[in-house]
Structure 1
Amino acid sequence: MRRSESRGHRTAAALAGAALCAVLAAGCGIRTTSVPVDAGAAPSRVPCAMPAEDAAAEAGRGIPVQVYLVCASQLVTVDRAVQVQEAKSDRLAVATELLDELRKQPTADERQAGFSTDVPATLRVFGPRFGDAKSALRLNEQPEDLPAEALAQVVCTFADSEALSTGDTVTLGGPGDYPAHGYLCTAETKASPKAVPSTVGVP
């Protein structure tokens, strides 16, 4: 066989191989395109934290307090400001101010940081009734009828208040004739607020 014929056979074989690769690539669904593919924005991180300057601005509007909101399926504190000072106000006034903060929808900055609240806008708090312990507070809904996360928010926010808690216990009752119970805000409550807060004996 002459060299020219050998070179011709090799060229033909190479072209056939290239054509076969192209067919296999098409069969595997590989397709080239010049159109850019938009996969969407990268998922945003939920920081569950407010910038320090926002906390300072909030504190400048009144007496600084902390309330518990829900973020990333946990309870996390945010800074708010109220118009009563715990050391100089009665317990019901303090409880009312704190509950008002829990009932408010989070600010735009708080929502952007991932915060929300499950406390109903209709929830109200009252003082103890006859026969209750002095530390008791009554809600206009039975505590155990509230969403678990909402009850956890109320319990942990009240438990952080020296004016409202006895040790680590907050005593809450509802509008009915049921006795008030002591509720604990534990590390487990904060980590998993969908679980109903632990109850203890009324102090």
Structure 2
Amino acid sequence: MSRLRRTGVMAAALAMAALATGCGIRTTSVPVDAGPAPSRVPCDVPGEEAAAQTTGIAVRVFLVCGSQLDAVDRRSPLQEEKADGDPVRTAAALLAQLQSEPSQSERQAGFSTAVKGPLTVTGGRQGDPADTLRLSRQPEDLTATALSQIVCTFAGSPAGVGEDTVVLGGPGDYAPRRYRCTAEVRQRPDSAVPTAAAPTPPPKPSLS
């Protein structure tokens, strides 16, 4: 290779190195882990949609967003005077909301629901603890995510029994159980929902 050609090659190499440095590029032989790509799911419904809904009563339901549960404010067509003080009516209205498809704004924000119909709710039977709600399917037969949505939605409403819990049963003869909505359930709705035995109702006084 002639001296003139070698000089040209070296000059081109120096120019390319200077260009890379000017662009802020640093060469390295060590692989760099930049971490996972940032999520583009906002999990936040614009306030204008909720404000535009003026009919019905305000309710809060838990929907799936990403891999977690997030609360969404909606308006239920149930009249307030019918829902006030009636846990069964409140639960029925909330369950209907959970089974309805998310609105366009909710879908754009990344929300979905795992609660699929047909699914209904009624009050407890004779001998059940107070404030028991019985679903038309056994709670353990639902997917973990669907049950997590129902438990957290009911527990945070007048249908719950306090302390983020709700007493649920199914159509069978199995005793109802107390289900708790915890921070872990909201963060991992696909995991098992914590349960405990429901309180036994006191015996009826003897008539004798």
Q: Do both share a fold (TM > 0.5)?
A: yes
Shift of 1:177: 0.7
| Residues 60-139 of structure 1 aligned to structure 2 (within 5 Å) | 60-82=54-76, 83-85=78-80, 88-139=84-135
CA–CA distance in structure 2, aligned partners of residues 109 and 135 of structure 1: 34
- In structure 1, what is the Cα distance between the partners aligned to 2:43 and 2:167? 29
Query: Structure 2 length as normaliser, TM-score?
Result: 0.75
Name the count of aligned residue pairs.
171
Shift of 1:141: 0.8
Change over 3 Å in CA distance of 1:185–1:13 after alignment to 2? closer
TM-score (norm 1): 0.76
Structure 1 gap ranges (5+): 1-8, 22-41
Per the TM alignment, residue 194 of structure 1 is displaced from its structure 2 partner at its CA by: 0.8
Alignment equivalent of 1:10, drawn from 3, 19, 31: 3
| Distance across 2 between alignment mates of 1:65 and 1:179 | 29
Letter in 1 for 2:170: G
Instruction: Give the drift of 1:134.
Output: 2.4
Per-residue Cα deviation, 1:86-109 (whole angstroms, up to 9, x for no partner):
763522111110000000010111
Q: CA deviation at 1:12?
A: 5.8
Number of the residue aligned with 1:53: 48
Q: Which runs of 4+ in 1 moved over 6 A?
A: none
The whole-number CA distance in structure 1 between the counterparts of 2:180 and 2:41 is 28
RMSD: 2.3
**Residue-by-residue CA offset, 1:59-115 (whole Å, 9 max, x unaligned):** x12111110000011110001111233763522111110000000010111011000
Where do 5+ consecutive residues of structure 2 fail to align? 14-36, 200-208
What is residue 191 of structure 2 aligned with on the other side?
A: 195
